[in-house]
Amino acid sequence: MKILEVQGVSKRFQSKEILHSIDLILEEGEIVGFVGPNGAGKSTFIKSILGLYKIDSGSIKICDCSVKDRFEDALKNVGCIVENPDLYQNISGRKNLKIASLMNGITKNKKSMDTIIQLVKLEDRIDDKVKTYSLGMKQRLGLAQALLNQPKLLILDEPTNGLDPLGIKELREMLKEIRRIYGMTILISSHILSEVENICDRIILIDHGSIIESVSIDEIKEKNISLEDEFLEKTTGKIK
């Protein structure tokens, strides 16, 4: 089943074209890395998916619903963290989740919310004020917010920014468990190849607003080269 279908998407800011005729399909249950250097167009693309930017041409469908024509139907299938999670610092993590549920019209019983809290490993601190949380804990609470509506598509924009190696490892394990339990499609945007290589089924490489390759991790392993070398080969024609 196609969860995300993007056809011919272009986006221009004034005289500069940021996205060039992007085509992309994500299937149900995939974990896909959307990888490219800073300024490649990753965040612009993600904000276009979420309807935060109006695209100049092309189409975006989520679960066969057009973001342009059926915005609410499309976005009800999405959970996301774009940049830093938006959290209230002076109340508890649990109250943050309750407020997020109310604001988004999500009806959740206590059991289902507790399941999400356990999944992101915050059960011991969920009733503490968020201002006492570490960066990794705040990121996990943001992930819990994104899971409240049990979306078909989970989008994470640079989710490992500022995390230490342990925090990155914990996040990776959580995402694998989320896919296992809910069967979600997960799109992870990152400029750091090594951080997505160990979790993704497939990597989509973007450079200067154009997709240059979609390659499975198994293909990379068969070539016996690193993901960094694959990217350099496609962008410069040379392997370092």
DSSP per-residue string spanning 19-30: EEEEEEEEETT-
Query: Domain extents for the chain?
Result: 87-150
Q: Which residue numbers in the chain have pLDDT < 50? A: 237-240
DSSP per-residue string spanning 116-147: HHHHTT-TTTTTSBGGGS-HHHHHHHHHHHHH
Model confidence pLDDT, tens digit, residues 81-117? 887 788 999 999 999 999 999 888 887 666 789 999 9
Q: What pLDDT is recorded for position 239?
A: 38
Q: What pLDDT is recorded for position 103?
A: 86
Q: What pLDDT is recorded for position 233?
A: 62
Model confidence pLDDT, tens digit, residues 136-153? 899 999 999 999 999 999
Inter-residue long-range contacts of 73-76, CB under 8 Å, 24+ positions, other chains counted: 75/50, 75/51, 76/149, 76/151
User: What does the alpha-carbon distance between residue 67 and residue 86 come to, in Å, rounded to a whole number?
Assistant: 23
Strand order in the sheet with 2-13: 16-27, 2-13, 57-62, 65-66
Q: What pLDDT is recorded for position 225?
A: 54
